[in-house]
Amino acid sequence: MKIKFWGVRGSIASPGPNTVRYGGNTTCIEIRTDNNELIIIDAGTGLFPLSQTLLSEMPLTANVLITHSHWDHIQGLPFFLPNFASGNVLRLHGAFDPVSGKGVEQVMAVQLQHSYFPVREDKMKARIEYITLEAGKSIQIGSATVTPYLLNHPVINFGYRIEANGKSVFFTGDHEPPQNTHAPGNAGYLEYQAVVDAMSDSILQAMRGVDVLIADCSYTEQEYATRKGWGHGTFNSSIQYAVGAGAKVLFCTHHEPTRSDDALEAVFQQSLLDNHRPAGGPHCRLAREGETYEF
């Protein structure tokens, strides 16, 4: 299996001299199975440079898994170049939105409104298919088994486990470890803690034993203190997930857009010092735009 990072920043694209080393595009991850089947997780601004490399493979079928519908994870979709050529297929997978009452087709429909984009969907020449997923229910994409899991974010967010030929990867999307919003001793604390514990256990089981865990590491612990409820994890929480799940490799991603590359490396190194890891793993790395990891 091969993973390539095309976008690793969170919230908003942040190009410039201070982010050139790790990259300024928002979330987009290319995964290739050993059979060269193409799976793309999220469609942030990194989708556009990825799509340029795919022109040589047309006609193609691209399976895109959307973790959630926030802009930094979908805004590259209108610029996915194979959409403008006949013979290509885009299969867009994602969650049902209980607020709007619509499936993943809403992700394209909203962006392609005439007020926001000049080309309507019916003018695109590729065939676009929409597949609304259910949490915990696996689907098959060629040789790969893909299972969405409900994680914790202000909107419905799927983490995805992808397994093929005995190899596995899990991506959290945007995820904040579940917290009890009740103070100890208050009415409802124990009942809600049981819900938190059950969700935490199910998330850890979803990650269990993966070769590669790619996780939201937006904040330091100090930053998180003023950002609780925003829906993002910390370096510490993601390292703890990797240790608890027995992951072999952790890639920290969704880099804070205001954090320079130098500052990113500094907080990452501090997090490694702050968190005990057993001998033999997990090996922790910063996700870098353009980097390929094969296993």
Q: What is the pTM of this model?
A: 0.96
> Given this model, what pLDDT does residue 187 score?
82
Class of domain 2-294: alpha beta
> Given this model, what pLDDT does residue 65 score?
98
Question: Is 142 exposed, middle or buried, given 0-12, 13-18 or 19+ CB atoms closer than 10 A?
Answer: middle
* Sequence-ordered list of residues with C-beta below 8 angstroms from that of 32, at least 6 positions apart, any chain: 1, 2, 4, 38, 39
> Given this model, what pLDDT does residue 262 score?
98
- Pull the structure tokens for residue 85: 């050529």
- Pull the structure tokens for residue 230: 């925003």
CA distance 198 to 172: 17
Q: Which residues of the chain have pLDDT under 50?
A: none
Can you give the residue ranges of every domain in the chain? 2-294
